[in-house]
Amino acid sequence: MPHDKIFITRSHIIPDAITFLQSRFDVEVWQENTPPPRALMLEKAQECAALLTEVTDVIDAELLDGATTLKVVANRAVGLDNIDIPAATRNGILIGNTPGVLHESCADFTLGLILSLARNITYGDRKIRAKEWTVFDQIPYLGTDVYGATLGIVGMGLIGTAVARRARAFDMRIIYHSRTRKPEVEADLGAEWRDDMDAVLSEADFVSLHMPLTPETEYMVGKRELELMRSTAFLINTTRGRTVNPRALYDALSGGEIAGAALDVTDPEPIPHDDPLLSLDNLLLTPHISSASHQTVRRMGQMSADNIIAALQGEPMPSCVNPEALGGN
């Protein structure tokens, strides 16, 4: 194990975890803040025992099928849409992720987006910086009360549940749809189950998306779904950009079909500087930072390192999404 080689695809994000791994393994780190070139990723998959990756690193069947020495990929994320899990399992390669350490930070951020969007906080800031606030007049900045409003949650996992818990402090009515019904959340938080997403979209004042990106959820929210929402309602997306059709969202926002939206994720990502969405005052954008607190990033890095160490020692990983891979090649 001490001679096993690990390739880490960023140098600046998790320095503590890198130092921790360097004390135990032969570690090589990509020094840029951009994803390593494809050719380099293919090369490292054929000479390393482990990869520590980010969500923008593509770990597909080509890479995994050609990985002659690779035993584990530790993805510093909960989502795994950048990794071909069946291909990894077929090749006997374990895949780790980082659940259970970022949901509270993401929930804090989601509530921040809701408040900023509803009460025109960032809109007002932009107007001041643009030197457009020249007279005391509140009318152009009138917002929407969050207190007592109906929050619709799509995807009641750890993050969705943490958002619902915070929403109770605002006396919000909580409705939700998820792959599985959550009686414990209903009992604890008074959340109301809806058996399809359409009901959530049509009833809620704020719709917050928290489902993973899968083939089933890709562009789940499009023209039809946005038309179901109230003209006074807001959409919040902190999942993945490809869960919402960006052109349909532009049409809905520019046409007044919904009141506004807040996106921490876009399609594509980063969003192009000439994207028409950037022209809209009723859209709030942030650069995929819902989990980006100092404490959470540090915990995610350590969990990724722990996943690698456990896998290379033949021990149970803190979080392995395909333990059946041990029965592979």
Counted residue by residue, the chain has a size of 329
Is there a catalytic annotation at residue 216? no
| Residues in contact with 15: Cβ distance below 8 Å, sequence separation at least 6, in sequence order | none
How many CA atoms are closer than 13 Å to the CA of 122, on its beta-carbon side? Answer: 17
Instruction: Choose the catalytic residue: 177, 210, 288, 299.
Output: 288
Cβ neighbours around 66 below 10 Å, total: 13
| Residue 50: strand, helix, or coil | strand
Is there a catalytic annotation at residue 240? yes
Phi, psi torsion values for 180, nearest 5 degrees:
-125, 140
Instruction: Choose the catalytic residue: 28, 119, 269, 298.
Output: 269
- DSSP E strand boundaries for the chain: 5-8, 26-29, 50-53, 72-75, 94-96, 150-154, 173-177, 192-193, 206-209, 234-237, 260-263, 283-285
Q: Is the peptide bond before 140 cis (omega within 30 degrees of 0)?
A: no
Instruction: Choose the catalytic residue: 240, 242, 257, 299.
Output: 240
**Look-up of token digits 């390393």:** 48
Indicate which residues carry an active-site annotation.
240, 269, 288
